[in-house]
Amino acid sequence: MTKNFEDHDSNNLIPRNDEFGLSKAEQDSKFIADQAPAPLLKQLLGFWVTFKSMFKKVNTVQYPEVKEPTAPRFHGRHQLNRHPDGLEKCIGCELCAWACPADAIYVEGADNKPNENYSPGERYGKVYQINYLRCIFCGLCIEACPTRALTMTNEYELADDQRGKLIFEKEDLLAPLRNGMVKPPHPMYPNTTDENYYRGEVTSAHPSQGTVNND
Amino acid sequence: MINSKGMVAQLLGQDPGWVIALKGLLIFIFCVVLTIMAVWGERRIVARMQMRLGPNRVGIFGIIQGLADGVKLALKEDLIPKTADKIVFIIAPIISATTCFMAFAVIPLTGEVSFFGHKTVMQLTDLPVGVLYVLAIASVGVYGIVLAGWSSGSTYPLLGGLRSSAQVISYEVAMALSLVAVFIYAGSMSTSDIVVAQDRWWYAVILFPSFAIYCISMVGETNRAPFDLAEAEGELVGGFHTEYSSLKFALFFLAEYINILAVSSLATTLFLGGYRAFPGLGFTETWLGGWFTLFWFFAKVLIFFFVFVWLRGTLPRLRYDQFMQFGWKTLIPVSLAWILIVSTLRVMSDQGAPQYLIFGFAFAVVLIYLVISNYSDNAKAKLATDYKNFTPENPEFPIPISNRTEQVIQIRDEAKK
Mean of all residue pLDDT scores within chain B = 84
Share of chain A above pLDDT 90, in %: 42
Cis geometry, peptide bond prior to residue B279 (ω within 30 degrees of 0): no
Using the predicted structure, report yes or no on whether residue A119 has a pLDDT greater than 70. yes
Q: Are residues A95 and A22 in the same domain?
A: no
pLDDT tens by residue, B213-238: 999 888 888 888 788 877 766 777 77
Q: Which of A176-180, B190-194, B302-306, B399-403 has the lowest average pLDDT?
A: B399-403
Q: A123 - beta bridge partners?
A: A111
The number of C-beta contacts closer than 8 angstroms across A and B is 40
Pick the residue from chain B with its C-alpha nearest to A51: B49
Q: Are residues A24 and A82 in the same domain?
A: no
CA distance B293 to B150: 43
Determine the pLDDT at residue A79: 94
Determine the pLDDT at residue B402: 63
Q: For residue A30, give the nearest of B45, B52, B411 by CB distance.
A: B411
CA distance B114 to B286: 12
Interface contact A50-B45, CB threshold 8 A:
no
Q: What is the CATH number of the domain that holds A157?
A: 3.30.70.3270
CB atoms within 10 A of CB B400: 6
CA distance B193 to B182: 11
Q: Are residues A90 and A45 in the same domain?
A: no
Task: From A80, A84, A88, select the one nearest A180 (Cα to Cα).
Answer: A84
DSSP state of A215: -
Q: Are residues A144 and A195 in the same domain?
A: yes
Q: Is residue A73 part of a domain?
A: no
Q: Is residue A58 part of a domain?
A: no
Residues 6+ apart with CB under 8 A from B61: B44
Cβ neighbours of B61 in A, within 8 Å: none
Determine how β-strand A105-111 pairs with β-strand A123-131. Answer: antiparallel
Could you give the number of structural domains in chain A? 2
Interface contact B53-A36, CB threshold 8 A:
no
Better-scored residue on pLDDT, B320 or B238: B320
Q: Are residues A139 and A92 in the same domain?
A: yes
Residues 6+ apart with CB under 8 A from A67: A61
Determine the pLDDT at residue A144: 94
Q: Are residues A97 and A186 in the same domain?
A: yes
Task: From B97, B93, B92, B99, select the one nearest B140 (Cα to Cα).
Answer: B99
The 10 Å CB-count burial string (b at 16+, else e) for B31-70 is bbebbbbbbbbbbbbbbbbeeebbbbeeeeebbbbbbbbb
Q: Is residue A61 part of a domain?
A: no
Amino acid letter, B411 = I
Interface contact B313-A50, CB threshold 8 A:
yes
- Per-domain residue ranges of chain B: 7-315, 387-416
Confidence of residue A139 (pLDDT cuts 50, 70, 90): very high
To 10 degrees, the CA torsion angle through B180, B185, B191, B196? -170
Q: For residue B388, give the nearest of A34, A56, A62 by CB distance.
A: A34
Q: Rounded to 5 degrees, what angle do the CA atoms A162, A166, A167 make?
A: 125
CA distance B364 to B356: 12
Q: Are residues A124 and A34 in the same domain?
A: no
Give B126 to chain A, closest Cα distance, Å. 38
The H helix count followed by the E strand count for chain B is: 15, 2
Pick the residue from chain A with its C-alpha nearest to B51: A58
Rg (CA), chain B: 25
Using the predicted structure, report yes or no on whether residue B148 has a pLDDT greater than 80. yes
CB atoms within 10 A of CB B371: 10
> What's the maximum distance between 2 C-alpha atoms anywhere in chain B?
85
Q: DSSP for B93-147? A: HHHHHHHHHHGGGG---SSEEEETTEEEES-S---TTHHHHHHHHHHHHHHHHHH
Mean pLDDT to the nearest integer, B83-111: 88
Cβ neighbours of B388 in A, within 8 Å: 34
Q: Is residue A167 part of a domain?
A: yes
The 10 Å CB-count burial string (b at 16+, else e) for A146-162 is ebebbebeeeeeeeeee
Task: From A191, A182, A190, A189, select the one nearest A215 (Cα to Cα).
Answer: A182
Using a CB–CB cut-off of 8 Å, the residues of A that contact B are 30-31, 33-34, 36, 46-47, 49-51, 53-54, 56-60, 62
Using the predicted structure, report yes or no on whether residue A205 has a pLDDT greater than 70. yes
pLDDT tens by residue, B344-363: 888 888 888 788 888 888 88
Q: Is residue A68 part of a domain?
A: no
Share of chain B above pLDDT 90, in %: 8
Structural domain that includes position A196: 78-209
Using the predicted structure, report yes or no on whether residue A22 has a pLDDT greater than 60. no
Confidence of residue A111 (pLDDT cuts 50, 70, 90): very high
Task: Kindly provide the ipTM of the predicted complex, given to two decimals.
Answer: 0.73
Is residue B141 a contact partner of residue B99, using CB atoms and an 8 Å limit?
Answer: yes
DSSP state of A39: P
Q: Is residue A215 part of a domain?
A: no
Q: Are residues A100 and A181 in the same domain?
A: yes
Q: Are residues A117 and A201 in the same domain?
A: yes
Q: Is residue A69 part of a domain?
A: no
Using the predicted structure, report yes or no on whether residue B99 has a pLDDT greater than 60. yes
Determine the pLDDT at residue A8: 47
Model-level pTM? 0.76
Q: Is residue A116 part of a domain?
A: yes
Give A42 to chain B, closest Cα distance, Å. 14
Determine the pLDDT at residue B289: 75
Determine the pLDDT at residue A7: 45
Interface contact A31-B411, CB threshold 8 A:
yes
Cα→Cα distances B86→B82, B83, B140, B164, B212, Å: 9, 9, 20, 21, 41
SS3 state of residue A168: strand
Report the sign of the C-alpha dihedral through residues A43, A45, A48, A50, in that order: negative
